[in-house]
């Protein structure tokens, strides 16, 4: 209708009417673009909010995994400390009470630091949806954190593999204790060893001491990476609050 009016005005050289119709056409196009841009912007903000919610939840889960891992390796260290103190003091009962540490002190806990929602964002090319440039940079750094963390833990596990073999040669496990875990599983007597032979084996005790040291390096590793992930999660929470998404 508008185009018909504009065509008719041009044919009759009614320049005023033609100008009015032309302005109406341009205004309609501009308004259409603005509506489309508003809809696209609204959809992007909705998607951004959904990603931020998921990131908060999943980063919290990563932190909980790191906490669980540290609690586990702290327990291993406490056991082996009890064992070593018992050996040094000539206390068989104390050494036996910490004997499970012989089985666990060389364990390395592998934790994935990268949330699934972040992998999804990067794969879909949606990371730019996060408007806060500093937060976007923080999120983009997580895959590098994951890569460095895994490389460090894998190297630690490789270093401890021969140590675990040497330690395992000095004890045997009562497998009947762990055959039915529903019945309670292992206890402090599950790991059996020759106290006299172990207490006089300096090479073996040095291996155990080395494994305990690596355990503390692993604990420090988790403290460091938990701190970095916690800082990023707090920035995500802050962005949710500032943008009024909650």
Mean pLDDT (10-residue bins), the chain, 246 residues: 52 54 58 53 79 97 97 95 95 93 93 96 92 95 97 96 92 76 70 92 94 96 97 96 88
Task: Say what the pLDDT of residue 151 is.
Answer: 97
Contacts made by residues 32-41, CB under 8 angstroms, sequence distance 24+: none
Task: Say what the pLDDT of residue 6 is.
Answer: 45
Contact 19, 34 (CB under 8 A): no
Phi, psi (degrees; rounded to nearest 5) at 205: -65, -35
Task: Say what the pLDDT of residue 173 is.
Answer: 82
Task: Say what the pLDDT of residue 189 is.
Answer: 81
Q: How far apart are the C-alpha atoms of 95 and 82, rounded to whole Å?
A: 6
Q: How far apart are the C-alpha atoms of 223 and 200, rounded to whole Å?
A: 35
CA 5, distance to chain mean position in Å, is 64
Question: Looking up tokens 């499970």, which residue turns up?
Answer: 100
Task: Say what the pLDDT of residue 182 is.
Answer: 64
Task: Say what the pLDDT of residue 38 is.
Answer: 46
pTM: 0.80
Task: Say what the pLDDT of residue 39 is.
Answer: 54
Phi, psi (degrees; rounded to nearest 5) at 152: -65, -45
Contact 186, 100 (CB under 8 A): yes
Task: Say what the pLDDT of residue 10 is.
Answer: 46
Task: Say what the pLDDT of residue 18 is.
Answer: 47
Task: Say what the pLDDT of residue 37 is.
Answer: 47
């Amino acid at each position: 209708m508008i185009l018909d009016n504009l065509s008719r005005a041009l044919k009759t050289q009614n320049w005023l009417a033609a100008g009015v119709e032309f302005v109406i056409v341009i205004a309609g196009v501009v308004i259409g673009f603005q509506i489309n841009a508003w809809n696209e912007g609204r959809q992007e903000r909705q998607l951004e909010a959904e990603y931020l919610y998921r990131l908060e939840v999943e980063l919290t889960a990563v932190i909980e995994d790191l906490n669980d891992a540290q609690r586990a390796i702290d327990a291993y260290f406490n056991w082996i400390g009890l064992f070593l103190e018992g050996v040094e003091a000539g206390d068989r009962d104390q050494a036996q009470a910490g004997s499970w540490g012989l089985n666990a002190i060389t364990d390395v806990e592998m934790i994935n630091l990268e949330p699934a929602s972040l992998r999804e964002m990067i794969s879909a090319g949606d990371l730019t949806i996060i408007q806060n440039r500093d937060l976007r940079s923080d999120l983009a750094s997580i895959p590098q954190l994951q890569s460095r963390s895994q490389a460090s833990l894998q190297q630690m596990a490789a270093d401890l593999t021969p140590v675990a073999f040497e330690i395992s040669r000095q004890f045997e496990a009562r497998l009947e204790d762990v055959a039915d875990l529903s019945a309670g599983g292992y206890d402090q007597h599950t790991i059996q060893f020759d106290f006299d032979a172990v207490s006089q084996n300096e090479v073996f005790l040095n291996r155990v001491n080395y494994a305990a040291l690596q355990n503390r390096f692993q604990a420090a590793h988790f403290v460091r990476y938990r701190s970095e992930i916690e800082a990023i999660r707090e920035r995500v929470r802050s962005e949710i609050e500032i943008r009024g998404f909650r």
